């Protein structure tokens, strides 16, 4: 039966296409006139008209392909037709929000296993530039592009579409999805302690931040920081540095800085020019490229410069020790600051991950990009480091569970079940096994939380669903982001307060407030759950 495999792959192709939006080559002069479909080891030559007829009505003129398809049952024929008509790209796509500069390359290269062209050297992979430019052109002419649209427009006299390879990739993707579904199902069955309603808005009465310009040797322009002071300075408490993710700005985390300052911690929000929202906008408009490896190197230099300024007293922020908090790539930067080297075997792990088309864990693409470009060598030493907090953190290929010796520094890793960029099963629960030796270390997983739940922008100030940076639907933003942000703040403060006392080791627990449920796991329980759901 083809139905299940083709239907799953239709969704996978839609996700692949949503990441691909880049005018890298001129529009082709001539599109494909003939196709060859390879399925079950048999090559069937057809015309584009025949394929159109098949996709349009499921019958078309009698040909080798339609004759073969009549041997299939109705469900299998329907699955193939859905595949041909599946949207590959839409104008309102996730690809317009993510950084296709690093995400597109391995995904589009995988299409070379599915679509090949004739050349003087014989049959070879179609180039990424051809596919990308073709889809970009098609998108200017229609609100969405289907698989059939792409096949019709690709610049080659003859194309070969390998459905055997397509179905193999579909099976791998289905396995990824099933693992995430098992986690969601498991969490939903846990009995939860019902808490009082999550308060919000109390911290908004505090004044805004003090803006500081810091001259740094690796940048032409000064680095702009936001400093939030606690009502009463207490140098016994560590200072906090917050680093936004790729495409993020300090303003997106003012809600967090304001809440932590109200609770008694001094906070500095960092900016990272070159990988902030302005850089993303330049990328989307085709004005500037953006490389993940270079972004990480710059961020490590930014962090090192700010830490040095604090040590020297040129940046006056109370606190002899420091807690690093980061979102996404900011969280990865914070984990890098622990000084841990990548575990041996990273190239092999990357090859396996890319072969499996990691559509439910897009961070694997960036991890392999960072490894390939040598950016993981940019580690620094932070002797005053008191703890690391990662919002939607990642690093499972760099520091895989079972190969990494757990770190002794306290670590808090937080994520959500709707996150397809840094999914919690691998990137928070799994990572806790690599970084969670300290008895206070923990992971917090929010049901319905997404990769963007921690981001707040102007206008997100009511108790309703609020706004979000990327203006996406709930399936990507997640459930009520304001409530999620409040519970993240609550869990973070509980973690920081535990660091100050002689509290007991973290115990796993499950909570609910209204419709929002979240789960706290210690290292042992996280490892057991991650292993059970493999």
CATH number for the domain that contains residue 422? 3.40.50.1820
CB 84 within 8 A of CB 55: yes
How many domains is the chain partitioned into structurally?
Answer: 2
Tell me if 181 is assigned to some domain: no
The answer on 429 and 289 residing in a single domain is yes
Q: List the structure tokens of 61.
A: 């003129």
Q: Does one domain contain both 206 and 161?
A: no
Residue 239 inside a domain? The answer is yes
In a domain, 384, yes or no: yes
Question: What tokens were used for 345?
Answer: 């075997």
Could you give phi then psi for residue 488, rounded to 5 degrees?
-65, -45
Q: Looking at residue 234, what is its pLDDT?
A: 67
Q: E-strand spans in 286-359? A: 322-327
CA distances (Å), origin 160, targets 97, 118, 128, 397: 32, 8, 16, 34
* Residue 399 sits in the same domain as residue 489: yes
Is residue 178 included in any domain, yes or no? no
Do residues 133 and 104 make contact, with C-beta atoms less than 8 angstroms apart?
A: no
**Per-residue pLDDT reduced to its tens digit, 372-405:** 888 898 778 899 999 999 999 999 999 997 765 6
Residue 75 lies in a domain: yes
CA-CA distance, 266 to 286, in Å (whole number)?
Answer: 39
211 pairs with which residues across the strands? 226
Least confident of 47-56, 137-146, 209-218: 47-56
Q: Are residues 321 and 243 in the same domain?
A: yes
Query: Is there a contact between 358 and 368 (Cβ–Cβ < 8 Å)?
Result: no
**Share of residues in the chain with pLDDT > 90 (%):** 35
* pLDDT in the model for residue 408: 81
Angle formed by the axes of helices 363-372 and 346-355, nearest 10°? 140
Query: Which is higher by pLDDT, 468 or 489?
Result: 489
Is residue 271 located within the same domain as residue 124? no
Rounded CA gap, 485 and 487, in Å? 6
Whether residue 101 is found in the same domain as residue 200: no
Residue 134 shares a structural domain with residue 235:
no
Among 8-12, 403-407, 499-503, 506-510, the range scoring the smallest mean pLDDT is 8-12
Burial grade of 270 (CB within 10 A; 0-12, 13-18, 19 or more): buried
Residue 262 and residue 161 share a domain: no
Residue 180 maps to a domain: no
Domain boundary among 146, 173, 200: 173
Q: What is the mean pLDDT of residues 286-303?
A: 84
Distance (Å, whole) CA 269 – CA 324 = 10
More confident residue, 68 or 307: 307
Centre a 10 Å sphere on the Cβ of residue 260 and count the other Cβ atoms it contains. 24
The pLDDT value given to residue 58: 45
Residues 146 and 84 in one domain: yes
- Dist. CA 172–CA 251, nearest whole Å: 39
- Straight-line distance from the first to the last Cα atom of the chain, in angstroms, rounded to the nearest whole number: 26
Above 60 in pLDDT, residue 183?
A: yes
Neighbours of 385 (CB within 10 A): 19
CB 519 within 8 A of CB 445: yes
Q: Among 396, 431, 422, 469, which Cα is nearest to 328's?
A: 422
pTM of the entire structure? 0.78
Lowest mean pLDDT among 84-93, 126-135, 521-530: 84-93
Query: What pLDDT shows up at residue 335?
Result: 95
Which pLDDT score is estimated for 108?
A: 62
Q: How far is CA 262 from CA 115, 123, 484, in A?
A: 57, 65, 19
370 and 433 inside one domain:
yes
Could you tell me if 352 and 414 lie in one domain? yes
pLDDT-wise least confident of 21-25, 86-90, 254-258: 21-25
Q: Among residues of the chain, what percentage have pLDDT more than 70? A: 65
3-state secondary structure of 386: strand
Counting Cα atoms < 13 Å in the Cβ hemisphere of 163 gives 23
List the domain range (segments joined by +) for residue 56. Answer: 3-173
Backbone angles phi, psi at 401, to 5 degrees: -60, 140
Asked whether residue 182 is domain-assigned, the answer is no
The DSSP element (H or E) to which 129 belongs, if any, is helix 128-141
pLDDT tens profile 430-460: 999 888 889 999 999 999 898 889 988 755 4
What's residue 107's pLDDT? 58
The domain boundary residue, chosen from 142, 173, 204: 173
Which of 414-428, 464-478, 505-519 is predicted least confidently? 464-478
Q: Which residue has the higher pLDDT, 331 or 40?
A: 331
Average pLDDT rounded to a whole number, residues 72-87? 59
User: Does the pLDDT at position 49 exceed 70?
Assistant: no
The more confidently predicted of residues 172 and 390 is: 390
Mean pLDDT confidence for 186-210: 73
Structural domain contains residue 183? no
Q: Are residues 317 and 269 in the same domain?
A: yes
Cα separation, 484 vs 481, whole angstroms = 5
| Average pLDDT of span 264-288 | 81
């Amino acid at each position: 039966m083809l139905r299940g495999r083709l239907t799953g792959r239709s969704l996978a192709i839609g996700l692949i296409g949503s990441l691909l939006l880049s005018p890298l080559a001129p529009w082709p002069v001539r599109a494909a006139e003939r196709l060859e479909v390879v399925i079950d080891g048999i090559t069937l030559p057809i015309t584009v008209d025949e394929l159109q007829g098949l996709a349009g009505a499921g019958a078309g003129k009698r040909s080798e392909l339609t004759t073969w398809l009549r041997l299939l049952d109705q469900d299998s024929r329907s699955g193939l037709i859905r595949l041909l008509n599946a949207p590959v790209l839409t104008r309102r796509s996730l690809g317009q929000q993510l950084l296709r500069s690093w995400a597109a390359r391995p995904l589009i290269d995988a299409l070379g296993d599915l679509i090949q062209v004739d050349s003087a050297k014989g049959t070879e992979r179609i180039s990424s530039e051809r596919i990308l430019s073709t889809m970009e052109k098609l998108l200017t002419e229609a609100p969405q592009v289907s698989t059939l649209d792409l096949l019709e427009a690709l610049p080659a006299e003859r194309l070969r579409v390998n459905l055997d390879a397509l179905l193999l990739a579909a099976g791998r993707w289905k396995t990824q999805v099933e693992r995430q579904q098992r986690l969601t199902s498991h969490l939903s069955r846990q009995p939860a302690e019902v808490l009082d309603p999550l308060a919000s808005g109390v911290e908004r009465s505090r004044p805004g931040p003090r803006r500081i310009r810091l001259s740094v040797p690796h940048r032409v322009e000064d680095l702009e920081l936001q400093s939030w002071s606690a009502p009463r300075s207490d140098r016994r408490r560590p200072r906090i540095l917050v680093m936004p993710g790729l495409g993020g700005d300090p303003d997106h985390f003012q809600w967090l800085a304001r809440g932590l300052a109200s609770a008694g911690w001094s906070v500095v929000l960092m900016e990272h020019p070159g990988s902030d929202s302005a850089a993303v906008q330049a990328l989307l408009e085709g004005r500037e490229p953006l490389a993940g490896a270079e972004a990480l190197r710059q961020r490590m230099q930014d962090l090192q410069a700010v830490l040095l300024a604090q040590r020297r007293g040129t940046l006056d922020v109370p606190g002899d020790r420091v807690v690093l908090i980061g979102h996404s790539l900011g969280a990865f930067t914070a984990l890098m600051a622990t000084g841990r080297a990548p575990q041996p075997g990273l190239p092999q792990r990357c090859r396996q991950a890319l072969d499996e088309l990691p559509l439910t864990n897009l961070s694997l693409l960036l991890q392999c990009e960072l490894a390939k470009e040598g950016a993981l060598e940019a580690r620094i030493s932070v002797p005053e480091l008191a703890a690391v907090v990662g919002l939607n953190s990642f690093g499972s290929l760099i520091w895989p569970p079972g190969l990494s010796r757990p770190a002794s520094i306290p670590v808090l890793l937080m994520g959500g079940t709707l996150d397809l960029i840094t999914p919690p099963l691998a990137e928070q629960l799994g990572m806790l096994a690599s970084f969670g030796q300290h008895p206070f270390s923990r992971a917090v997983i929010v049901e319905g939380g997404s990769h963007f739940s921690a981001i707040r922008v102007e206008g997100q100030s009511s108790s309703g669903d609020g706004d979000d940076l990327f203006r996406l639907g709930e399936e990507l933003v997640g459930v009520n982001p304001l409530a999620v942000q409040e519970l993240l703040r609550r869990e973070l403060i509980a973690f920081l307060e535990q660091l100050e006392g002689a509290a007991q080791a973290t115990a796993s627990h499950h909570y609910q407030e209204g419709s929002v449920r979240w789960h706290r796991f210690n290292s042992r329980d996280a490892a057991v759950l991650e292993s059970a759901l493999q």
